[in-house]
Structure 1
Amino acid sequence: MNKFYWFLFLIFFYDSSYGQSAGNFVGYEKSGESLIVQGTSGVLKIQAITSEIFKVQFLNSKTSLAFDSSYTVNLKSNIGFDKISESNNSIQLLFQNCSLEINKIPLSIALKSGNEVKIEDDQGIRYSQDSVFLSFRINPSEVFHGAGGRPFGPDLNKKAFEFYNTWEHAYYDQATGLSQSFNVPFIISSHKYGLLLDSDQPGMMRMYVGSLDSTRLNIEILSAGRWAYYLIHGDSNDKILENYTLLTGRQPLPPRWALGYIQSKFGYKNQSEATNAVSKLQNQGFPLDAVGLDLYWYGDETKMGTMDWYAPTWPSPEDMMTRLKAKGVKTILITDPYISTKSDQYQSAETLSLFAKRYDSGQTYTQDIWNGTVGLLDIFKPETQTWLWEKYKKLSLQGVGGWWTDKIEPDYHPFDAYHILGNARQVHNLYSLFWSGNLFEHYKKDFPEKRLFNLTRSGWTGSQRYGVLPWSGDVARYWAGLKLQIPIIVQAGMSGLAYMHSDIGGFATMSDKTDKDEELDLRWFQFGTFSPITRNHGQRPNPEPFNLSEPFYSIVKNYLNIRYQLLPYTYSLAWKNSISGRPICMPMDYFENRKNLGDINDQYFFGENMIVAPVLLHGMPSRKVVLPGGKWFNFWTDEMYEGNKNIFPTLTVEHIPVYAKAGSFIPLSSSKKRSTDFYTSDSLTVKFFQDISTPSSTFSMFHDDGIDPNSLTNGKYELVDFTGRVSADSIQITTVRKKSFEKSIAKRNLVFEIKNLTSPPVALKINGKDYPVVQYANEFTSASAYYNLANKELKIRYDWECKDPLIITITRDGLGIITATEPPKPANIFTVYPNPGLSRDPLSVKIKFVESGDYSLEVFNNTGTIVAGKQLGKQQNGTVVNFMLDVKKLKGAYIFKLSNEKGKIQTKTIVIE
């Protein structure tokens, strides 16, 4: 972006009157499903898209053309206004979970929950000639996330930034983050709302989030288009993103191979070089799913835009791709929006008038860029879209497995260029959206049996519904560049772009940076393992991990195998994103609304169950890790930590800090795979980080064929639920396949690793039958369990018939096993006698309550079924309760569980004869 232009722009703004607003209230009426509010100088049109999504527009008059179609929003339905309450000062539009309040003098709109104002506009949308202004009143203490892929934050409060997709080569500093290649005018507040801006000509925008006035969010736009804003209510980040992606579209499932390892560089110059790299990786035991071919596949940079193989260096591409595919390796090709005048295809596009034009002459707008003279395709023209797709289709039929759409900001886009949709400056931000949409819709039509792989450098609101897999651009090969990737990934995820990732190792090698920095490569690979996409790329000549020396070579290979072991977990995160909009990588305050967590920029959630804290500096001996509430386990050593505090783990070269949440299930693929093509989820290791602090937890594992683009809509997938119930005396794990399809696996070999089991099991039953526990590790082969006292871990191996529920019940030694890190607390005095008892005689139960609460008593058999119980109601500290409990027809061992509404649990194991 031209910074001088912005300087003039701001001078204009501060000298302006900030445009026309709606003025004061005159009256209102219903028009269809809309509410039309007449002001003294304009009209507000308000629509309820759902009961938690509201659209607001400003019109000069009732007859003005409303902004009722959108390139970015695909949810058009609205529900109308059934409950309207008017007073002297305001109009209330009432819904189940929230309300809109229209203040009359001056006209302004507030989103409320109960009596609490979440956000309120300040004079609404105001228009001047080619300019638009908005401002909102906000709480200075709010934390804001989103706005696209930003390298700063992740709290956007007190910051200013632009929305104009740009490309920055070799970035490594936050100062370059005013504007990025992924700008999304959507932000989420810790005050539990989202704000989206939308226009048919987005132009150039700058947003000030409390940076001019801590109580205001100011937005200043150069645009000739029509504008609307959306207020989105939600009681959590999950709900806000669910509503946002309902409005703008959800990310379809990527092909499962996208979650494997992708090898690329700038670039493989010929067929032999590319195939040799693949063979060397696989022969040395590195798993691999795809190879990315940069511009040399069509010749060199002077032939940019030529969507055809360069025969002298790629003599048999179809045979090459067939052979690679047989090895489980897909071929990804780069494409560009520019066509060089030296390209064989330039004249064809010129004859068909497919390029952007000069406004004054109507001639093709050619420009000289780094690789020669080029024309820019006008992606908004239907003829261009058709011509371009025919190129993509031909190559896809040859065997190309995925696409790499580069430079589609577009990075060189003169303001005076003209497209069929409008002036370049006005429609610039829509360019990448149209490019991705064209590729997605045509691919869906002509290849209905496959999922699209589209690795792309730029996007706008709604890009996620076209299946884009974004990357963070040409980051410099510096430690500082690595550090910026965490906020970029987190902010993109909070903007609907769940698959943001980076070039492992950094793309651009600067003149002051030697090619070889194996520590940086290692740490970037370790971070990339726990990223949405794991892709190695760069300008350096030898980025492949087989070029590393020891110990880096072996550690990187181990991490890439860990990536494949994580596939049951990461693929389930992808499913969760596609059905709900939840990101794969999330900021540290995503689940816990605490301001001190909101601006942590060096660690993140990888799914709800894991925290990843990459190593971001050379030679770090240790680093701070902030643990949120609850208890957390070192993923590598199983060591447990209390939450709500900072820890300072000693760093080793072998691992980066990764922590699993207490109560979490993390399913892993047991066997090594050279490609996701050979993955079936038939053999799993399920880690269960159990702790009495989390009495109930669950995880849903998703599985399908990894290819079918309609598996979700057609129900062609399976879901396996792992559920844990933990008390002082027992642990119960239930595994149930709650959904299946015709390709579902009939049997799975499962190995459960039950962590934090501080004493040997008293009894172990599977589906009500005793199960053997061996004493030595070498005896743990099949159909048995093994307790490792040193690791406090119970391993259970079982061949599960997936159509039947699997219930594992572990009886253990009472209250004494509560984790040693938990300080002793006074417990209710809870006795049941006699023990053993007789089934014909009632048992006597006596409880002296030390902690007040609402209590219940439940009796479980060894399969976890409740067979008796009693609601005890509210009890005060010091109260003593005595009662008799009928146990007729009960025989065997039973667990009596006393619990309150706070989740506090006490148990007794009782034998009834």
Structure 2
Amino acid sequence: MNMRIIYPLVLTFFLLTSCHSEVQLSENTSYTFSENILTINTEGSSYQVLAVDEDIVKVSYSDSITYSNRVYGPILTKVIKAELKQEGDVLVFSTNNVRVEITTDPVNFSFYDKESGLKLQEDKGYHRRDDLTAFSYKLKDDEAIYGTGSRSIPQNRRGYKFQCFNQANYGYGVGADFLNYSVPAFVSSEKYMVLIDNPARAWFDIGKEKKDVLDFASTGGNMAYYFINGQGYDEILSKYGLLTGTQPLPPIWAFGNLQSRFGYRNQQQTDSVVTAMLNAGFPLDAIIIDIYWFGEELQDGYMGNLSWDKKNWPNPDSMIKVFADKGVKTITVSEPFVTRKSKNFEYLSENKLLGLDSAGKTMTMPYFYFGDAGLIDIFKPEARNWFWQQYKREKERGIAGWWGDLGEPEVHPDDMVHVNGLAKEVHGIYGHEWIATLYENYEKDFPNDRLFKLGRAGYAGSQRYGLLPWSGDVARNWSGFQAQNEVMLGMSMSGLPYMHSDAGGFAMFPRDSILYIRWLQYSVFTPIFRPHGDPNAPAEPIFYHQKVQDIVKKSIELRYALLPYNYTLGWKTQQTGQPMAQPMFFAFEEQNFSDKLSDQHMWGEDLLVAPIWKKKSAKRDIVLPEGDWYDFYNYSHVEGGDKITVEVSDD
């Protein structure tokens, strides 16, 4: 039973259940409290405070040049009952669980759990410096900060400064502090979370310049944040799931072996790979076709055509059906860029469905790698509808899933004009609106089918649309591999439970059979199993030595043996908002695990995964939580509560 004790206190205060008339606090500051919303007016500016849950309070700021009236990530918007007290010159806004104390000269917010005390206190609160707008918060001495999206830096972000901006980082490895998927949200060891609902170009400074201050500074955008209270990490992420939505279950085949490559050049080659994989005894649920399905050239290859190149794919309908009869789904890539050479460019440009310049003309980017191109204005309803019609046509052809690439967007000039603002203000929400376009139209046109969409970028809340993010164009080397647990677990702590990687590594480096084995073994215990890579090394196991094939086949077969367990994890994630892959400090919070222990993780509640991160490894140390543990491979019993050392073999 969760008991809350009410202590009778004698205080001098005013209890305001509703105050429609304006109350003057000083010459320049006044407030109203109407319909459970507190509005504080200062000279030329306004703060608004409201609660959407007993543990979730929203604070927003606006003035003549700053807005805060947009809602991007959250879906929980109904205002709940709150109380307001005036205690001298301090306003106290309260729900059943949270108390917010607000000083008014200057305006500053402090957030309390009614049982445990102070959780979060603003430093400067909202302020401007140079051309940036910012919120800043005080950090306690030993406070750790987690989340903020995809980064291959330590789980505790304290001591780091980095951009909060979706941006590709080709060939990255350990230490990459910016990647394709940033999230303007953080979780504290003090058991609270903050979501700053602002997709503009921004930066986090988490105790780097001032060790006791967390600063979020942006190039304008929506200046609103949500304080989320909780008693533990699991409750915090559940509340975050309530606020922004939880991840729906993907189709069951999404938990199988999804084979990909950059890229299959033609129908004959794709068919030969599928046939060879099945003949070699490898379970296979999907084949993923990269950009060559709509054009044979890499650069100036008609990106944006979004229709089959009949020269190299003479009968895609037949191919898709043949694969489907073998139990193999077909997935195709798409991008939001449309090159000038595309058959669709003229129509989209004439109808202003692409991003514009300040003169209202289509803005193209001649420096874009794949050719001079425009960018679909995904925020414009007419553009979304056009984009969806391309997907709908291919869905009716038999395409089972989608791979959305370059969706940061990879090239996105700050001064590009979208229907809802400049690119620098809405950049972070682009991938979010893309996945929302598919999800919402699936609900309308294909209500009995579950959406499968891989995406490289999104926003807070993109999980509710079923986005399956991957960690970008990672280097095919040991540093790239070693970066993946930090990335996956950081996304888990950001409310995005399906982060995974290009298994085997994507970029630049040649074949390394041991690396390939270790990466695929690791990927068995990640949300999506998807070997993928550039042409410098094969992504398919059939092109490796027989010994490698035998080892990898065992891993893939294990992935399928775990299907009931993994599918149940997906269901639990949908129901609770809990991550599938969990940091040790999250899974065993009561045992006070160090957040530095990030080379192992829990896969669900029952499997502790300790990958082999180095090429030459004869032994592996594993830290076991307290309790009874059993070796997965030989079922031997091990008493927990200490570090053990195990022998390492190839398989």
Does TM, normalized by the shorter one, top 0.5?
yes
State the Cα RMSD in Å.
2.1
Q: Give CA-to-partner distance per residue, 1:560-600, whole Å, 9 cap, x none.
A: 11101101111011011111110111111003336652122
Distance 1:246 1:599 in 2: 29
1:520 aligns with: 515
Superposed counterparts of 1:83-94, under 5 Å: 84-88=84-88, 90-94=90-94
* 2:403 alignment partner, SS class: strand
Distance 2:104 2:588 in 1: 36
Superposed counterparts of 1:26-65, under 5 Å: 26=29, 28-39=31-42, 42-60=45-63
- In structure 2, the gaps of 5 or more residues are 1-24
Distance 1:527 1:464 in 2: 23
C-alpha contact 1:365 1:417 (8 A) present in aligned 2: no
Shift in Å, 1:248: 1.2
C-alpha contact 2:81 2:95 (8 A) present in aligned 1: no
Distance 2:521 2:337 in 1: 35
Given the superposition, is the C-alpha separation of residues 107 and 344 from structure 1 closer, same or farther in structure 2, using an over 3 Å criterion? Answer: closer
Distance 1:247 1:465 in 2: 11
1:317 aligns with: 316
Shift in Å, 1:424: 1.7
Distance 1:24 1:629 in 2: 60
Distance 1:365 1:544 in 2: 37
Given the superposition, is the C-alpha separation of residues 591 and 93 from structure 1 closer, same or farther in structure 2, using an over 3 Å criterion? Answer: farther
Q: Size of the alignment, in residue pairs? A: 621
Kindly indicate whether residue 384 of structure 2 is the aligned counterpart of residue 381 of structure 1.
no
* 1:123 alignment partner, SS class: strand
- In structure 1, the gaps of 5 or more residues are 1-21, 655-913
1:260 aligns with: 256
Q: Structure 2: which amino acid aligns with 1:125?
A: Y
2:275 aligns with: 279
Find the partner of 1:588 among 584, 588, 591. Answer: 584
1:74 aligns with: 75
2:604 aligns with: 607
1:535 aligns with: 530
Distance 2:196 2:532 in 1: 34
Find the partner of 1:215 among 212, 215, 223. Answer: 212
Q: Structure 2: which amino acid aligns with 1:653?
A: D
C-alpha contact 2:522 2:611 (8 A) present in aligned 1: yes
Q: Structure 2: which amino acid aligns with 1:576?
A: K
Given the superposition, is the C-alpha separation of residues 480 and 65 from structure 1 closer, same or farther in structure 2, using an over 3 Å criterion? Answer: closer
* 1:427 alignment partner, SS class: helix
C-alpha contact 2:471 2:499 (8 A) present in aligned 1: yes
Given the superposition, is the C-alpha separation of residues 371 and 566 from structure 1 closer, same or farther in structure 2, using an over 3 Å criterion? Answer: same
* 1:331 alignment partner, SS class: strand
1:457 aligns with: 456
Given the superposition, is the C-alpha separation of residues 60 and 384 from structure 1 closer, same or farther in structure 2, using an over 3 Å criterion? Answer: closer
1:440 aligns with: 439
C-alpha contact 2:414 2:422 (8 A) present in aligned 1: yes
Given the superposition, is the C-alpha separation of residues 395 and 142 from structure 1 closer, same or farther in structure 2, using an over 3 Å criterion? Answer: same
1:760 aligns with: none
Distance 1:209 1:553 in 2: 45
Shift in Å, 1:283: 1.6
Distance 2:316 2:414 in 1: 39
Shift in Å, 1:65: 9.1
1:565 aligns with: 561
Moved more, 459-468 or 338-347: 338-347
Q: Structure 2: which amino acid aligns with 1:107?
A: V
Shift in Å, 1:265: 0.4
2:400 aligns with: 401
Shift in Å, 1:622: 1.4
Superposed counterparts of 1:185-584, under 5 Å: 185-199=184-198, 202-223=199-220, 225-300=221-296, 301=298, 302-360=301-359, 362-510=361-509, 514-515=510-511, 517-540=512-535, 542-584=538-580
Q: Structure 1: which amino acid aligns with 2:541?
A: P
Given the superposition, is the C-alpha separation of residues 68 and 351 from structure 1 closer, same or farther in structure 2, using an over 3 Å criterion? Answer: closer
Q: Structure 2: which amino acid aligns with 1:54?
A: V
Q: Structure 1: which amino acid aligns with 2:444?
A: K
Distance 1:632 1:192 in 2: 29
Q: Structure 1: which amino acid aligns with 2:519?
A: W
Distance 2:62 2:588 in 1: 40
* Greater relative contact order structure (CA < 8 Å, 6+ sep): 2
Q: Give CA-to-partner distance per residue, 1:749-777, whole Å, 9 cap, x none.
A: xxxxxxxxxxxxxxxxxxxxxxxxxxxxx
C-alpha contact 2:62 2:223 (8 A) present in aligned 1: no
Shift in Å, 1:38: 4.4
C-alpha contact 2:41 2:47 (8 A) present in aligned 1: yes
Q: Structure 1: which amino acid aligns with 2:74?
A: V
Given the superposition, is the C-alpha separation of residues 374 and 41 from structure 1 closer, same or farther in structure 2, using an over 3 Å criterion? Answer: closer
TM-score under structure 1 length normalisation: 0.66
Q: Structure 1: which amino acid aligns with 2:119?
A: K
Q: Structure 2: which amino acid aligns with 1:566?
A: L
C-alpha contact 1:24 1:106 (8 A) present in aligned 2: no
Q: Structure 2: which amino acid aligns with 1:80?
A: K
C-alpha contact 1:23 1:40 (8 A) present in aligned 2: no
Q: Give CA-to-partner distance per residue, 1:371-397, whole Å, 9 cap, x none.
A: 322222111221211111111110110
Distance 1:407 1:70 in 2: 24
Distance 2:605 2:101 in 1: 35
Superposed counterparts of 1:867-878, under 5 Å: none
2:151 aligns with: 150
Distance 2:222 2:26 in 1: 19
Distance 1:331 1:597 in 2: 43
Q: Give CA-to-partner distance per residue, 1:38-79, whole Å, 9 cap, x none.
A: 456744311011100000112449xx9973441222111121
Q: Structure 2: which amino acid aligns with 1:610?
A: L
C-alpha contact 2:453 2:466 (8 A) present in aligned 1: yes
Q: Structure 1: which amino acid aligns with 2:117?
A: E
1:664 aligns with: none
Shift in Å, 1:86: 3.9
Distance 1:542 1:58 in 2: 52
User: Which of these two proteins has the greater Rg computed from alpha carbons?
Assistant: 1
Moved more, 64-73 or 117-126: 64-73
TM-score under structure 2 length normalisation: 0.91
Superposed counterparts of 1:737-748, under 5 Å: none
Larger fraction in strand: 1
Distance 2:241 2:562 in 1: 26
Moved more, 300-309 or 355-364: 355-364
C-alpha contact 1:268 1:296 (8 A) present in aligned 2: yes
Distance 1:329 1:339 in 2: 29
Given the superposition, is the C-alpha separation of residues 65 and 342 from structure 1 closer, same or farther in structure 2, using an over 3 Å criterion? Answer: closer
Given the superposition, is the C-alpha separation of residues 548 and 411 from structure 1 closer, same or farther in structure 2, using an over 3 Å criterion? Answer: same
Kindly indicate whether residue 635 of structure 2 is the aligned counterpart of residue 638 of structure 1.
yes
